[in-house]
Each structure stands twice: as C-alpha cells, then as structure tokens.
Amino acid sequence: MKIVVVGDALVASSDLEKAAQELNVNEEVQVEKFEWYSDLSKEAFQEKILAIEKGGSEAVEIPAGICEALVDADILLVHIAPVSKKMIASAKKLRLIGASRGGMENVAVEAATERKIPVIHVIRNAEPVADFTVALMYAETRNIARAHLSIKNGRWDKGFSNDAYKTTLAKHTVGLIGLGYIGKLVAKRLNGLGVKVIAYDPFIDPKKLVDEGLDIELKGLHEVFREADIISLHMRVTKETTNMINAELIGMMKPSAYLINTARAAVLDESALINALEAKQIAGAAIDVFWEEPIPSHSPLLTLDNITLTTHIAGDTIDAIPHSPYLLRDVINDYFEKGVSDMQVNLKS
C-alpha cells in the first residue's frame, strides 16, 4: 500500500510518516513524503493558512510533483496542505484522504465525494478550544479583560456596560449552535459547572447525547436564540452556514444575552454583530476569530466597550498541533475497524 504524506511548517512530515506506518492496513506500507512551505516561519506560514481559509484548496500552490506521486497512491495524509481538485483527479487509486485538523477549507471535499473517496479529519485542538470558549464566557460576562485593560491604562474602573446583567455563570442558560466534537466538549464542561445547556443541531440524535452522558436539551434555532443567556457558535463554514448568524437571529436575543464565537468568523454576519453591539441591543460578545486577520486598525470592533477580543488563539497550545497526526491515526484505525466514523465529513450513509 502506498501512502503519500505532506508536512508543513506546523506539522512535521516525519510525524505524518510515522502515523501512516501505524495504520492498521494489514499489508506492507510504502510512504512517500512531501513538504509544503515547511521552511517558513510560523508568522509567514499564517499567511498561507489565511489564504486557504478564505479561498479554499484552489487558492494556493500545491507541492511540486505530488500529482505524479498520487497516481498510484492509496491514502493521502495532510495537515493544512491543499488537497486540490487537480490532485484528486490525478489520484486514480485513492481510497482515503486524512487531514489532521478540524477545518476542511484545504480539501476539495466535493471532488472527493464525486470520486467516492472518504475524507476523515480530527479536531486537533478540540480540548483547548473548549477550555477557551468557557474562559471567554467568564471573561465577557464578568469583565475580566476590560478590568485588566482599565488598570493598564491608569484607571480603576468598577462599572461596565453590562452592570445591569452581571451574575454567576451557573445562573445563565447557554445555547450551543452546533454539537460537533467541540460543541459537545463545551457542553461537558458546562454540565460539570452546573450550567443549563440548550442546543441547536438538526443532525444530532438526542438518544446519542444521553448515551454519551451529556445533559443537553435540543431545541429549534429560534428557540435557542430567544431563550439563551449566552449563545456560543460551533459550526463549520459551509454554503448554508456562511453568515447564518444574522441580524434576524441576533435580534431575537435577550438584551442581557452574550454572543461567543470561537468557530469561524464567516458563520457570523460582521455588520449585524457590530450594529447590535453599538446599539446595546445585546449585553456583549467575545470573539477569537475575525473576518480579516490581523484585525484592521479602523475596525469598529476596536471602539466598542462591550466586546472581548482575542487574537485567534483558542486552539493554540504547545501540544495540540504537533500531536495531531497521531490523533488522525487513531481515528482512521477506528474507521477501518467499524466502517463508520463521527469524523468522516462525506459519504456518510
């Protein structure tokens, strides 16, 4: 069996190679390695990541010689290197594509689906993002970042724009939009803190949530926006979810409610959020993802006193990304054993 792996500046090709060698394929494995901008600094590599997140798999260069290597390949493993339509078209024998990350912007999933090639991925930083999401709930509702900023600026502020609504987290109802891997981890943490959790996800079986030991009440999208004190977004970016959280939905939120986004900026209508915050239509927001990164100096978000901003660091821990090939190995082996996987993004029966 031939497996092609593509390393980059964040995930070493040697780790992807080792993970490939540990797949349970019951035959001898031949690995061919490629590099995709592995020599770039982390900062320079972020520009390539942003290009992919904005333009998808066709927006960046593919590794030289990879199409030729894929002609007789059985499996392709990458981190964020592109898996373009051209690459998939050249892969005459390909049986599986694996990506050691959560977002699928770098993979031409539709092209893989047309060829009936399963695409498997992992949420490499799910635990860090879940932790960070709950931290943002505390930071925004209790003004932690704003108090810090006031001291750094020589003030001792005790009053904030959400003073009329301040209370403990346990007295809030949190509404999760999307119950994928990260959404469920956030729910698990909130369950442990005694926080009531409601959620919207039309693809989730309520019985499965019970089997997983999660206390979540599934509701309609409008119900969640009307009832929750904190809305937290956990959807992938698709044609259907782009700008899904719009002025209409935000307009349904309580004046005392907060909006948290650690998913992708594209799922949230930027103008709708800014307008709601400027008008004090909702109590506040906390976001770790932006429509343009770094955030432009002229952005209205920088003038607001009811938002917490962080620099897209929710998943940034020292171990999450380097370990991701081995998470992918485990998920693929589980898929080989069971024939199905929650981490399969296409061709689900």
Do residues 160 and 139 lie in contact, with contact meaning Cβ atoms separated by under 8 Å?
A: no
- Triad 278, 279, 282: Cα angle to 5°: 95
Strand order across the 284-287 sheet: 217-218, 196-200, 173-177, 230-233, 258-261, 284-287, 307-309
Q: Which amino acid is at 66?
A: I
Q: Please tell me the total number of residues recorded for the chain in this structure.
A: 349
Q: How many angstroms separate the Cα of 198 from the Cα of each of 51, 172, 208, 231?
A: 35, 11, 15, 10
Catalytic residue ranges: 264, 293, 312
Q: How many angstroms separate the Cα of 46 from the Cα of each of 35, 42, 52, 177, 308?
A: 16, 6, 10, 27, 23
Distance CA 114, CA 92 (A): 13
Contacts of 338 (CB under 8 A, 6+ apart): none
Assigned token pair, 121: 């991925």
Three-state SS letters, 47-106: HHHHHHHHHCCCCCCCCCCHHHHHCCCCEEEECCCCECHHHHHHCCCCCEEEECCCCCCC
Contacts of 292 (CB under 8 A, 6+ apart): none
Distance CA 158, CA 150 (A): 9
